[in-house]
Amino acid sequence: MKRLLAAALLLGACASSADEPVSGDPDPARVGPQGRVAQFIVECEVSHIAFDDPIVLPWQPGLSHQHQFFGNSATNSDPGYERAIGADTSCDQRLDTASYWSPTLLGPTGERIDALSMTAYYRPGDGIAPQDVVAYPPGFMMIAGDSQAEEVQSIDVVAWGCGSGAQRTDRPQDCREDSTLRLWLTFPDCWDGSRLTSFGSGAHVRYSSNGCPESHPIAIPQLQMAIDFPPVPAEGLSLSSGDTATAHADFWNTWDQEKLEREVALCLNRDLVCGVSG
């Protein structure tokens, strides 16, 4: 299933060794400010399930709501960078040892609905010149969405759809049997240039709007996570964090830093859409 999804997204192929770009067009039907722009992508399977969160509840094992983790297999409640960077990964790109996580999806009776895959899209943000984007520093952390939200969030940050279809809604959709239920989460892309994390408050990052604000002047890649689930009926769905309005995701930069910097330089800074890694 995961490889079929990747093939459907691919614009064109290029070599996929560890030293070459790993990107592609994530969503040919997408319209709007994030349309066909420079990007690189990484596909990952679920690595593990745990009640941990090294950003919001560091050093407090088992006290978080349940998360599904993608990428770095060693991620738990310990935010120690040196422990994490040498771990294995569930991503196709073996040098992407970053950690991505989100609450688990639950069915009407509370049963867990396991994700099929996650695709991470890295691209310049709104109004950001591709040549101005810099790689995240080692150990950088950030969150997309609000786990405490009491109302639906903006679809610019949290959105639901069906496969690579263009329609985005603020609640899960009923999708065809030959598609997937997809959750989109878009992360901030402007950094204050000093703090690696604000442990859940998000104070060190902002979203771009025709460029980055003076308070957060450093343009970093805008990360979008697309999590694909089986096309289950939308009625009665919830998340381990609560109502589907509480959708959110976390990112911890434990990439092989040299590889990440090459991707930014070769794809984003040169304003290129590259090919999907194998």
pLDDT tens sequence across 112-129:
999 999 999 999 999 999
DSSP type of residue 46: E
pLDDT at 77: 97
pLDDT at 24: 33
Task: Give pairs for 76-82: CB < 8 Å, separation 24+.
Answer: 76/50, 76/52, 77/52, 77/53, 78/54, 79/54, 79/55, 79/141, 79/197, 79/252, 81/138, 81/139, 81/254
pLDDT at 164: 85
Identify whether the C-beta of residue 164 lies closer than 8 Å to the C-beta of residue 28.
Answer: yes
pLDDT at 3: 37
pLDDT at 34: 44
pTM score, whole prediction: 0.87
- Spatial CA neighbour of 141 closest among 215, 81, 92, 185: 81
Instruction: Give the chain's residues under pLDDT 70.
Output: 1-36, 275-278
The tokens for 37 are 């722009």
Identify whether the C-beta of residue 89 lies closer than 8 Å to the C-beta of residue 47.
Answer: yes
Q: What CA–CA distance (Å, rounded) separates 122 from 128?
A: 13
